[in-house]
Structure 1
Amino acid sequence: MAILVNNDTKLCVSGITGREGTFHTLNNRNYGTNVVSGVTPGKGGQDVEGIPVFNTFHDAVDKTGANTAMIFVPPRFAADSILEAEDAGISLIIAITEGIPAHDELRVYNQLTRNPNVRLVGPNCPGILSPGKANVGIIPASFFSEGNVGVVSRSGTLTYQIGNELAQAGFGNSSIVGIGGDPVPGSSFIDILAEFEADPETELIVMAGEIGGSAEEEAAEFIKANVTKPVVAYIAGFTAPPGKTMGHAGAIVSGSAGTAKAKQEALEANGVRVGRTPTEVAQIAAEIAGSLKTA
């Protein structure tokens, strides 16, 4: 089945006429994703290699039935683009844009929490890939094949590394979800873990976290209470110095809070095996996935 994106996805891309927007939109379409439209204000009536461009999300939804949005616009415009997609009735919004001001992210978060019919993934994320079905974002899909391992990560590059090592070991993925590393994510680990728990195709879950915040500790409690499938985790940042932001805006340790060690201890206390390196995580996941095959 996969989660969130699949053969029923009808994608509309905000920022489709920009260089990066065009490049990744066409990559997604070449993978097999049903890209039905794009949005760039002032460029309605144009097309990008046969994909119609509209001035607004409302026009795009009315004319093409889009149900998924990918946001590829500059940071200062991204919040309004997300909220326009929500207002137009888009049910899944995937924000790739990095560097959105934190107060804009809060404005979006507060608005979307009032609407139970919409999910935001990101911002500052690599998107979602359901191998063999749809790719929405910038994930290098050629690395991955269909399978039973679900991956959710705050880091794009860690997603690629762990997924590729699993692929080299002969295991595929149901879906790969990058939730992004900003302080105010649209979807949390808990949100995606719940999706994987409900997905019959997913038999094993790999989560890749990092220093900063409490998302991994909260996920650990959720896993203990609600997840019946095996979960393997990795936490980036065991050697990160306190008080220094490491790559992502949300990856910062303050005092003793948010450290990799604290997150590891919380996860292991709740039955999650934690690898110290991405390679070790992939090895543990492959070991468990192999046992599921023979069970």
Structure 2
Amino acid sequence: MSILIDAESTFIIQGITGREAVTMTRELLDYGARVVGGVTPGRKGRDVHGVPVEDTVRALTEQMRVDGSIVAVPPAFAADAVLEAIEAGVKLIVVVTERIPRAQVARAIEYASQEGARIIGPNCLGVISPGKSKMGGIGGAADATRRAFVPGVVGVMSRSGGMTTEIANALSEAGLGVSTAVSIGGDAMIGSTYAELMPLFEADEQTQGIAIYSEPGGPMEAQLAAHMAEHGSRLPVVAFMAGRFMDEMPGMRFGHAGTIVEGRADTTADKIARLEAAGIAVAERIEQIPALLRERIEGAA
């Protein structure tokens, strides 16, 4: 099994005629993903690598089943693109666009919640269920993706798109592999947090452990720790916390828009303490994650 997507998932790309989206389309098709259409207003009748282009999302959803949409449009139009997809009945939206105004992101997330849809991102690389499908630019070219993301038993969640691949590669080389990996997004406000995705992994029989890449700033680690403390988990969880040096640099940003340390609760020291108190092991280096997970998975068997 997997979460969010599988081999039968069909999806579209909004903004498909943009330069980066054209490349993404080729990579997705080469991986075997079922990209069934694209949307760029005014470009109806064209195609991108054989994928038909329409002016609106509804023009596609009225013709075929569309399980998800990748939003790859400029920041000024991205929130409206998300709303359009949800209004047309799409239930999974992966937003790769960054620098979307926070108020617009909040509006899109609220609307998605009302309509029973899920947003991944913004400012993310997407989702992959290795050997089945992927949505977004995660992993890059198909051959590189297959090398880094080997099907396996560990779910991956990461605020960094690039580090999603680094962790997956480490897990694959160690023989554990990946069930589903989610690049959740590096912005301060995102559609799906660690805590919100945990129940999906809990319900997935393929997943036997969780690897998390985290960064300073934001409340997501505290939310995950609270979730684990309240609900527990059948899955051992190992996290890596980047940017420990930032504890001495309050107010500075590290990497992503969401990594701004605004108070003690945002520091790496506080986050590590919260995670460990909730039973989550914290690795000091990325390469330690596979061994820590293997030890805990075997101990739980």
Specify every segment of 5 or more residues in structure 2 that has no aligned partner in the other structure, as ranges: 140-144
Q: Which is further off, 77-86 or 152-161?
A: 152-161
The percentage of counterpart residues that share the same residue type is: 40
Specify every segment of 5 or more residues in structure 1 that has no aligned partner in the other structure, as ranges: none
What TM-score does the superposition give when structure 1 sets the normalisation length? 0.95
In structure 2, the residue matched to 1:133 is: 132
* 3-state SS of paired residue (1:192): helix
- Indicate which of 170, 178, 186 corresponds to 1:181: 186
TM-align CA RMSD = 1.3
| Equivalent pairs, count | 292
Cα drift, residue 289 of structure 1 = 4.4
CA deviation map 1:30-69 (0-9, x unaligned):
1011110000000011111211101000001112321210
CA deviation map 1:154-178 (0-9, x unaligned):
1112211111111111121110001
Aligned pair 1:231/2:231, yes or no? no
Cα drift, residue 234 of structure 1 = 1.2
Alignment of structure 1 residues 57-72 onto 2, 5 Å = 57-72=57-72
Q: Distance in 1 between matches of 2:257 and 2:286?
A: 21
In structure 2, the residue matched to 1:192 is: 197
* 3-state SS of paired residue (1:257): helix
Alignment of structure 1 residues 246-285 onto 2, 5 Å = 246-285=254-293
Aligned pair 1:160/2:194, yes or no? no
Q: Distance in 1 between matches of 2:253 and 2:105?
A: 19
Aligned pair 1:75/2:81, yes or no? no
CA deviation map 1:59-97 (0-9, x unaligned):
011123212100111111100000000000001000001
Q: Which is further off, 70-79 or 254-263?
A: 254-263
In structure 1, the residue matched to 2:252 is: 244
Q: Distance in 2 between matches of 1:194 and 1:166?
A: 22
Partner letter of residue 256 of structure 1?
Answer: R
Partner letter of residue 265 of structure 2?
Answer: A
Cα drift, residue 211 of structure 1 = 0.7
Q: Distance in 2 between matches of 1:278 and 1:125?
A: 20
* 3-state SS of paired residue (2:80): helix
Q: Distance in 2 between matches of 1:63 and 1:43?
A: 17
Q: Which is further off, 57-66 or 74-83?
A: 57-66
- Contact 2:159–2:186, Cα closer than 8 Å, also in 1: yes
Partner letter of residue 89 of structure 1?
Answer: G
- Contact 1:37–1:64, Cα closer than 8 Å, also in 2: no
Q: Distance in 2 between matches of 1:255 and 1:128?
A: 31
- Indicate which of 149, 152, 173 corresponds to 1:144: 149
What TM-score does the superposition give when structure 2 sets the normalisation length? 0.93
